[in-house]
């Protein structure tokens, strides 16, 4: 079985693959831990699900939090006896990277693009709703061009609530109307419709530059909520990043 981990600024998404099938997945907070803590944490997750430690024969991770990388790698080696593959632009990803400098592109963006190309073909736009909202673009030849980075929904909410004394914190549920008739509805409308509008505008501008309409695949914690009101998102794929990690490991696993 393969252990895949996507370490983000806010959350870490973990999955277990048996061949090509995702059999377990978890979404946890990204917090700084020692290698021992991370190793024991992973062992506990496996134990809860009845997965023997010895059944894990490979691991791969992408990370945008460098301070966690060493502890994670050491924890995987010590407690699961696997030497993890770390996603970097220097790996065999199966896509051309037309981004300069290459080392600056986030590993998660490359992983999403690899999975997106495999599932939806190219050209393609992948939208990831995380701490940031990223749009990643593949041209008709399947090359990774780059894209856009904007503040994520929760990031925007935290900025709003942190600088206003009277506004209540709200859940991110799509409102029925863009015209909020109370404070909670007004905040929800502003955040949900506002971010859907942001994505739709960026997608249309990208289509103009590419000279064609592409599929738009959305992933991340708030993908479904935004897709329900977006005019351009064509697919919601909540575990796209995990699938990308599996595909990259397939190309780069130790022989």
User: What are the C-alpha distances in Å from 8 to residues 68, 98, 147, 239?
Assistant: 10, 23, 18, 14
CB count, 10 Å around CB of 58?
19
7 marked as binding residue: yes
Q: Which of 108, 200, 208, 237 is catalytic?
A: 108
User: What are the C-alpha distances in Å from 232 to residues 63, 197, 211?
Assistant: 28, 10, 16
50 marked as binding residue: no
Q: How many helices (H) and strands (E) does the chain have?
A: 7, 10
116 marked as binding residue: no
108 marked as binding residue: yes
12 marked as binding residue: yes
213 marked as binding residue: no
Q: Quote the distance between the C-alpha of residue 153 and its chain's center.
A: 14
11 marked as binding residue: yes
54 marked as binding residue: no
CA distance 217 to 223: 9
Active-site annotation holds for 108: yes
Indicate the annotated binding residues.
Answer: 6-13, 99, 106-109, 128, 131, 183
The set of catalytic residues is 108
Indicate the annotated binding residues for K(+).
Answer: 128
Indicate the annotated binding residues for ATP.
Answer: 6-13, 131
Indicate the annotated binding residues for substrate.
Answer: 99, 106-109, 183
């Amino acid at each position: 079985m393969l252990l895949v981990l996507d370490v983000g600024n806010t959350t870490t998404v973990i999955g277990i693959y048996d061949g090509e099938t995702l059999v377990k997945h978890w979404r946890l907070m990204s917090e700084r831990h020692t290698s021992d803590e991370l190793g024991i944490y992973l062992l506990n997750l496996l134990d809860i699900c009845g997965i023997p430690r010895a059944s894990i024969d490979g691991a791969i991770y992408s990370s945008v939090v460098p301070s966690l990388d060493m502890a994670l790698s050491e924890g995987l080696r010590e407690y699961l006896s696997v030497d993890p593959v770390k996603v970097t632009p220097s790996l065999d990803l199966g896509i051309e990277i037309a981004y300069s400098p290459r080392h600056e592109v986030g590993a998660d963006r490359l992983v999403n693009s690899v999975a997106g190309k495999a599932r939806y073909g190219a050209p393609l736009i992948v939208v990831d709703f995380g701490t940031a909202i990223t749009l990643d673009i593949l041209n008709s030849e399947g090359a990774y061009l780059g894209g856009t980075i904007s503040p994520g929904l929760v990031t925007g909410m935290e900025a709003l609530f942190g600088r206003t004394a009277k506004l209540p914190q709200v859940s991110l549920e799509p409102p029925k109307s863009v015209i909020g008739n109370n404070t909670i509805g007004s905040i929800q409308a502003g955040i949900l419709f506002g971010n859907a509008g942001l994505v739709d505008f960026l997608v249309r501008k990208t289509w103009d530059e590419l000279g064609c309409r592409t599929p738009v695949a959305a992933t991340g914690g708030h993908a479904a909520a935004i897709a329900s009101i977006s005019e351009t998102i064509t697919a919601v794929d909540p575990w796209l990043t995990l699938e990308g990690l599996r595909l990259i490991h397939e190309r780069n696993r130790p022989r």
